Structure 1
Amino acid sequence: MERNNNIPIRNIYYMLSYAYQTLNLTEYKQIGTEKFENVKELYAKILSIGIPILIRGGLSKGYISVEETSNVIKGKIDINSTIKKNALVNKKIAVVYDEFSENILLNQIIKATLVYLSRSNKISQKMRRLFYGLLPYFTEVSDVELDLKLWNNVRYNRQNIRYQFIVDVCRYLYEQLLFDESSTSQMMKEVQDEQRLSSLYEKFIYAFFKRETKYKVSHPQIQWSVDDEFTDALPIMQTDLVLQKDKKTLIVDAKFYSENMVARFEGGMTKQNSGNLYQIFTYINNWKADPEEKVAGMLLYAKTTALNQPNHIYQIKGNQIFVVSLDLQQDFSNIKENLLAYVNQFFT
């Protein structure tokens, strides 16, 4: 996992830039020219710019359910709650109604993040003061305890999609600070680091080809080619990336692991990860291809520090499978060049 920590901060910034188009806004341009000591500084700087942008655009609102006792009938009367609270003694009833409010989960996460960051000694005093100064804009938002489980309940739509980048970065920074401060074992920290960067890596790869090429870019689910239409309990085949051009289709699966190849015993010969190879082979064989369509697969690994790295092309049952590794430590112009060269092997 040493490699993960050694990915240049500038390259993580570029990955974020592709994964989230928001970073192309004028307000963020200064970030691309600054130098950061660590990724925490990068995330904090992004939030220091991004949260004020959200505030200027107006905090999103949503309908939330409110329960209260009142002498005015509004919404629905809750008879059971009225009896339990003995509200009728005071000539009141329990009512339940919807209120259009800023007190929604997205704003609660941002407020909780601001509170956490304003007290953290892992970021500069200047940043702490800046985050503390943003809290008055969230006075109508309830305080919640910051917990990674909060993000599991986040749902986006056309009205709140502008929050996605900032809320994701809130999580990236919180995780980074949380595992720095906790007594979690080094192994667990490495696993969490891998998971976080794996998600960003997948988003970056997809967005890169969407922006930099003229291929048809998508990430569809592949349906199982069953004989009797019975698909109960079959796992979902969700692709990371599918590139198409001139009746050629390349199914790409992005892989970000601490180990790209495996050996049965220490010092033994390294082999491809069988699970990954079976996965991409299954994708190819279940893809519903047109009669003249040529289909291939690619396992696109992030390069590790291991001596042996995937760099192979297989011909299996009439289909090509490319297994390659991308060095995220090199200059970003070389990363772009490598990515384009990898897929051009198939399309040209």
Structure 2
Amino acid sequence: MLAQGLRRDSVSGASAEEIAHFAAEQGVTQVPAAVDEVLRLIGRQPGLWFDGAEFGVLSGIDDAVKRHVITRSVVGVEHGIRDLAGILVLSARQGYVYHILDGADLGHDDPPVWEIVEGASSRSWPTTSAWLSDMEPLVESLRRDLERYELNGWERPTWGDDILPRTAKGLPSEHPGERVRNITETAYSAGLRRSSVKGASEDEIDRFGAEQGVQNIPTAVREILRSVGREPGYWMFPMKFGTAGIDSESKRTVVAALRGMKHDLIDPEGTLLLAAYPDQTYYVIDGADLLQDDPPVWTIGIAGPAKRVRKEWASTTSWFEAMAPDIPRARRSLARFEDQGRPIPAWADFLEPEK
């Protein structure tokens, strides 16, 4: 989250003594390693983590809260908790949604986490790590919320100061080709199916530029297209992207839209279009920046409340990293589809099966 733009000083961790006291308040003497690490990282001041919920060593979660869960919240709820009396309550939301550890699992390093909705339902995450990942604040979504506040002239929310602007992160890389390759390999390691992605040839990349009237393709863009430019698979899904997705008509659309908009682009006619949600949002490089190896990327919204032109990323490689598929989240979504008996989406073919 810090890498995505959560302000570092918006969170703070708890000490070993505070963690031990938090557990002792619930009659627990053993804290699993994963839980201990979570509390050491964000347990004193979680910031946007668990926003709207009580969480951490200063939350006030104690034996009284634990007794409430045991005597009231789980009543009438089907669950698989084996040692209810020994549970450790991790968070509480509005007095009726609780995240807890089964007392029988406290000896495990990375145990499952249960969610109990009082008198209604239960579900669980297979590990504490998976639970924490699901709880992470969605920084990009929050940035879009902040933009809506700005557009509508609303008072800026207090949590807005916890989010860094995109241009504050991701400065240009001295070795953009290497950085692009590292980003793609990270996605494959996470479970993106390698065979679902195909890179473009040099001739295809040159035609990609020529279609847009652009002679120079920045090093970072060329490496992105070499890596995922012909068949991007889950990368940029479901946007138009790559040598088969972006063409001269797409470029004409965005240039025509720019003529009727206020912006700070130096050379709008010479922009290089990278990706698009047609008739909504376009990602471009200013024509004046095309001689840079790793130039900034602009977002152009041409419809509705998102209509604006804004420099969003300080470099193309940071934009590419922001567009990387979130494989763990996608797998959790698939698991929910399967649990609910819903049809498996076509994009599931872009992922390797979990081992």
- Specify the TM-score bucket, using the shorter chain as the normaliser: under 0.3
Which has the larger share of strand?
A: 1
TM, length-normalised to structure 2: 0.21
Considering only CA atoms, is the larger Rg found in Structure 1 or Structure 2? Answer: 1
TM-score under structure 1 normalisation? 0.21
